[in-house]
Amino acid sequence: MFLKLLGESIRFAWQVLSTNLLRTMLSLLGVTIGIMLIIAVFTVVDSLEKNIKDSFSFLGSNVVSVDKMSFVERDPNVPFYVYFRRPSNTYDEFEFLKSNLKNASHVTFYGTRSSTMKYKSSSINGISIFGISNEYKDVYEVDILNGRYFTSQEIEGGRNVTIIGDEVAKSLFPYESPIGKSITTRGQKLVVIGVLAKEGKSLLGTPSSDERIYIPYKMFTKMFYVGRFGVSPTIAAKGYVEDIGLVELQNEMEGMLRKVRGLKPKEESNFALNRPEAIADAIGQVFDIVGYAGWIIGGFSILVGGFGIMNIMFVSVQERTKIIGIQKSLGAKNYFILFQFLFEAIFLCLIGGVTGVLIVYLLTFIPTGGLEIALSFKNILLGVVVSSVIGVVSGIVPSAKAARLDPVEAMRAS
């Protein structure tokens, strides 16, 4: 019965489309534009959110870092300079946490500064130099394409070795392999032992591994002043599990740092514990607001389109009144007539909805620079579901009117 009703509804809907093509197209335009606007907004929002969150991927996942100030929260009553006067993390604090943290799988220590890299007559500016401990690769992703990672002896001895990013390698060594070659920065020669895989530019211009080099932390301290008024290193610990496990790790780190820094119970912590998830949550709240705006903008178009579909259905009921009377006189039940017109309304709305989704899909092929836009299955399903709901809401009144027609009066209709 369901397949029969569906088949007849499709046939009648096609007759409406082909017989009154212009009227139907204008009525479906509202649904098409409404669905297109909603899906387009959600597609752009999802793509922006994904690209922005990917831009912060260098902060790691399941990681708690110790910094002078919070990524997203700051007391407006506290002057900004107060945070900069906080003590910098020390290597001794790193070793203390590394030896005593029970809820961390790995703990690392690193500092960063920018400088110019040189090789023979070639040079590249603005390259981030990361001075790292041996555990850095266990806390953050270090994807080495060619060569190798540091040995523990190279890290502990502060050897003059380096792992360079893809952009550094292409700029300084366009026609030869960089492995085994020496680059110069801040008066120090560094032997290249590895090259990172290409990461590409991020949407926000946040640091990319393509434009950075890694060196042992003790080598880093020979090149830059570390401490107050200098480089402020970061301690980062990777948790075993998400959510509850990270909360336990965060609490454990706070207690140990307060102890090692000699803070009294009533004294405020002179450090901040940051989690990348805090940035993701803040970004998500902003895009939720944009999503609501998309619903409002698209909702008006859908409202207009819904009235257009309802108008088509009232006209369709009026044109087929005699057919309804004949069907009921032959024994057709009220629900048969109801579903027949209701399926027709849903089918018409689906045509508009699918057209809107198809337009959005075609628009994703337009180049947008660094922003990668993709239409997800979730948004396609959303377009289909919303279209179906519009069809039900727009078609229920005309369908109920058709189902309640008296067969005798319907056959007498002119």
pLDDT digits 0-9 by tens, 98-110: 999 988 889 999 9
Q: At what angle do helices 321-329 and 276-319 cross, to 10 degrees?
A: 80
CA–CA separation, 30 and 25 (whole Å): 9
pLDDT digits 0-9 by tens, 111-129: 999 999 999 889 999 899 9
Answer whether residue 354 shows pLDDT above 70.
yes
Here the tokens at position 188 are: 């120090």
CA–CA separation, 25 and 380 (whole Å): 22
CA–CA separation, 300 and 50 (whole Å): 28
Residue 96: what pLDDT? 92
pLDDT digits 0-9 by tens, 129-162: 999 999 999 998 888 999 999 999 999 999 999 9
Average of per-residue pLDDT values in the chain: 82
Give the three-state DSSP class for 188. strand
The DSSP element (H or E) to which 152 belongs, if any, is helix 152-157
Q: How many CA atoms lie within 13 A of 315 on its CB side?
A: 15
Q: How many CA atoms lie within 13 A of 58 on its CB side?
A: 17
**Which whole-number Å values give the CA distances from 254 to 1, 139, 174, 257, 353, in the listed order?**
67, 19, 47, 5, 53
CA–CA separation, 173 and 166 (whole Å): 10
Residue 179: what pLDDT? 95
Residue 55: what pLDDT? 61
Q: How confident is the model at residue 68 (pLDDT cuts 50, 70, 90)?
A: confident
Residue 13: what pLDDT? 62
Answer whether residue 371 shows pLDDT above 90.
no
Give the three-state DSSP class for 218. helix
Average pLDDT estimate for 298-326: 79
Q: How confident is the model at residue 60 (pLDDT cuts 50, 70, 90)?
A: low
Average pLDDT estimate for 15-38: 76
Average pLDDT estimate for 177-188: 93
DSSP percent split of the chain into helix, strand, coil, nearest 5: 55, 15, 30
Q: How confident is the model at residue 21 (pLDDT cuts 50, 70, 90)?
A: confident
Which carries the bigger pLDDT value, residue 81 or residue 209?
Answer: 209
pLDDT digits 0-9 by tens, 231-289: 999 999 998 766 555 788 888 999 999 988 888 888 888 888 888 766 666 666 777 77
Is this prediction's pTM over 0.85? Answer: no
CA angle at 157 for the pair 153 and 161, rounded to the nearest 5°: 80
CB atoms < 10 A from the CB of 388, how many?
Answer: 16
**Which whole-number Å values give the CA distances from 144 to 114, 118, 133, 192, 196, in the listed order?**
21, 21, 17, 12, 4
Residue 206: what pLDDT? 56
- How would you label 96-134 residue by residue, b for 16+ Cβ within 10 Å and e otherwise? bbbeebebbbbbbbbbbbebebebeeeebeebbbbbbbb
Q: How confident is the model at residue 168 (pLDDT cuts 50, 70, 90)?
A: very high
